[in-house]
């Protein structure tokens, strides 16, 4: 029945993002509170109806009757946690989001490498550091009365070719009122600082972290997942921008690195989606480029350098304001690619519980951004057609194959209608095939649906 209801979402309510997730966004913002374009507006009467399986998920954010039966969980989860694929000492935590009661804990206070589940912490930190309507701007500026342009990177990890093209259109129109002739072009990447290359080195999972890039520095047509990247995203973006200007009749010179001139005035700019939408995209696709940019923006918003080191200080400082258990935690990056990252299963479930707290609507994009089992993002190909978890489990995945790390943290609606937060952290043999561990993690989450 669960599978039939979930599958019906596609035909009855359109794509998942336009059905269940849209309904949740409106519910997350009662009375016009919340963050971002989708979180501040009243319900659109022309918007698609919730997917058929949405009511049970949405109801779980309220106060269903009865109480979770914690006594049944050890017998339900214990044997599954004993799967050898999960390593000798997995960490596990299950929390009732309505009451904050920890229903199950096994190694829940042991710091472990979280892989990409650390993005839940990254999301929490940036959503508490910046306003919900914040957008990242990429701007073109020029000194008064001149056509000497500077393309200023605003640290927007979602800037794509289409928006860069629109920026060139706007810039060319604005230059018609300025002196004609050859146009010097510089590009400013000073917003971010420190090493641009991740400590794990250049790799297909992440471009150099710079304040100016297009299409995440990808050299193919992909928009998520691993891909070959340019080693100079800022220079590549500036050169593309110069070509776009020339195609519009602007005699742009070859771009050179440079700082925004003192007194320069805006010529044109392009804005990202509001912060909540960027966070959702980061979580759904496990986007490392967005995660590292948001990590730096958290640092900048809290008066720290926009660097790996600044983010490592800023994230725990933001989480501490929420009175979360941080003992043993290390935040070496924002994406989870760094094996030096350490969190506990108990911290992850409490982060998710904060996101479900009606008093914290600004954190709701963490829940709406989680991949949906069998439908979206990194869970789209997990959970079989007959799984009871399809459409009900929402979770951030984490895998560091070379390190044998496999993790899963998210929410599930149990059989009594409660929204439970769960986190399972594992460390198996380095280099082990992640498939068996992922299937074991999925079995744990699926078991919670029947609790």
| Known catalytic residue at 380 | no
Structural domain ending residue among the three candidates 249, 272, 295: 272
Structural domain ending residue among the three candidates 272, 293, 319: 272
Same domain, 255 and 185: yes
Q: Is there a domain that residue 285 lies in?
A: no
Same domain, 394 and 338: yes
How many whole angstroms separate alpha carbon 397 and alpha carbon 442? 10
Same domain, 113 and 188: no
Q: Is there a domain that residue 8 lies in?
A: no
Same domain, 113 and 203: no
Quote the pLDDT of residue 201.
Answer: 93
Quote the pLDDT of residue 23.
Answer: 43
| DSSP-derived 3-state class of residue 171 | helix
How many whole angstroms separate alpha carbon 268 and alpha carbon 245? 13
Residue tagged active-site, from 286, 307, 335, 387? 286
Quote the pLDDT of residue 196.
Answer: 98
User: Measuring CA to CA, how many Å separate 2 from each of 53, 387, 411?
Assistant: 8, 9, 16
With vertex at residue 238, the alpha carbon angle to CA 234 and CA 240, rounded to the nearest 5 degrees, is 115
Quote the pLDDT of residue 58.
Answer: 44
Q: Is there a domain that residue 21 lies in?
A: no
Same domain, 438 and 343: yes
- Closest listed residue to residue 118, CA positions, set 278, 316, 296, 275: 316
Instruction: Decide: pTM greater than 0.85.
Output: yes
| Known catalytic residue at 342 | no
Residue tagged active-site, from 93, 106, 119, 329? 119
Q: What is the pLDDT along the chain (451 residues), one digit of tens a residue?
A: 343 333 333 232 223 343 344 444 444 443 333 322 222 223 333 333 333 333 344 445 554 555 566 778 999 999 999 999 999 999 999 999 999 999 999 999 999 999 999 999 999 999 999 999 999 999 999 999 888 999 999 999 999 999 999 999 999 999 998 878 999 999 999 999 999 999 999 999 999 999 999 999 999 999 999 999 999 999 999 999 999 999 999 999 999 999 999 999 999 999 999 999 999 999 999 999 999 999 999 999 999 999 999 999 999 999 999 999 999 999 999 999 999 999 999 999 999 999 999 999 999 999 999 999 999 999 999 987 778 899 899 999 999 988 999 999 999 998 888 899 999 999 989 988 999 999 999 999 999 998 7
DSSP per-residue string spanning 8-42: HHHHHHSSGGGTHHHHHHHHHSGGG-SSSHHHHSP
How many whole angstroms separate alpha carbon 59 and alpha carbon 37? 23
Q: Is there a domain that residue 202 lies in?
A: yes
Q: Is there a domain that residue 86 lies in?
A: yes
Same domain, 238 and 338: no
Domains in the chain: how many in total? 2
Structural domain ending residue among the three candidates 228, 255, 272: 272
How many whole angstroms separate alpha carbon 159 and alpha carbon 215? 6
Same domain, 157 and 118: no
Same domain, 127 and 151: no
Same domain, 147 and 260: yes
Same domain, 155 and 228: yes
Residue tagged active-site, from 53, 106, 116, 387? 116
| Known catalytic residue at 119 | yes
What is the residue range of 247's domain? Answer: 137-272
Q: What's the CATH number where 187 sits?
A: 3.50.80.20
Q: What's the CATH number where 378 sits?
A: 3.40.710.10
Same domain, 166 and 118: no
């Amino acid at each position: 029945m669960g599978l039939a209801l979930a599958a019906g979402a596609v035909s009855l309510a359109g794509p998942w993002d336009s059905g269940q997730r849209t309904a949740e966004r409106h519910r997350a913002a009662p009375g016009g509170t919340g963050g971002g374009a989708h979180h501040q507006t009243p319900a659109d009467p022309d918007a698609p109806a919730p997917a058929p399986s949405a009511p049970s998920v949405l109801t779980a954010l309220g106060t269903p009757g009865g109480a979770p039966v914690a006594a049944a969980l050890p017998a339900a989860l214990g044997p599954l946690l004993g799967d050898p694929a999960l390593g000798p000492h997995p960490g596990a935590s299950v929390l009732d989001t309505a009451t904050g009661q920890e229903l199950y804990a096994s190694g829940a206070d042991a710091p472990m490498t979280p892989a990409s589940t650390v993005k839940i912490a990254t999301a929490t930190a940036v959503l508490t550091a910046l306003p919900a309507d914040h957008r990242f701007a990429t701007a073109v500026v020029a000194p008064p009365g001149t056509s000497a342009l500077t393309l200023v990177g605003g640290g927007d990890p979602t800037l794509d070719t289409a928006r860069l093209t629109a920026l060139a259109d706007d810039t060319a129109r604005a230059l018609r009122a300025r002196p004609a002739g050859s146009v010097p072009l510089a590009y400013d990447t000073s917003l971010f600082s420190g090493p641009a290359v991740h400590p794990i080195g250049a790799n297909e999972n992440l471009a150099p972290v710079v304040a100016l890039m297009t299409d995440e520095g990808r050299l193919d047509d992909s928009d998520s997942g691993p891909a070959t990247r340019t080693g100079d995203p800022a220079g590549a973006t500036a050169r593309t921008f110069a070509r776009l200007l020339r195609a519009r009749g602007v005699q742009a010179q070859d771009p050179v690195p440079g700082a925004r001139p003192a007194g320069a005035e805006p010529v044109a700019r392009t804005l990202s989606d509001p912060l909540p939408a960027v966070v959702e995209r980061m979580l759904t696709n496990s986007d490392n480029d967005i995660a590292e940019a948001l990590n730096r923006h958290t640092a900048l918003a809290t008066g720290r350098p926009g660097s790996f080191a600044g983010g490592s200080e800023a994230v725990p400082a933001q989480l501490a304001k929420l009175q979360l258990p941080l003992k043993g935690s290390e935040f070496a990056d924002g994406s989870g690619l760094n094996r030096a990252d350490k969190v506990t299963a108990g911290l992850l479930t409490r982060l998710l519980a904060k996101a479900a707290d009606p008093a914290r609507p600004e954190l709701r994009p963490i829940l709406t951004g989680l991949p949906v089992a069998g439908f979206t993002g990194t869970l789209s190909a997990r959970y079989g057609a007959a799984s009871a978890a399809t459409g009900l489990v929402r979770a951030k995945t984490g895998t560091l194959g070379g390190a044998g790390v496999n993790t899963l943290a998210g929410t599930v609606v149990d059989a009594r209608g409660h929204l439970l937060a769960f986190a399972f952290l594992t460390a198996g043999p380095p280099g082990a095939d992640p498939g068996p561990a992922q299937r074991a993690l999925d079995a744990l989450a699926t078991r919670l649906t029947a609790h």
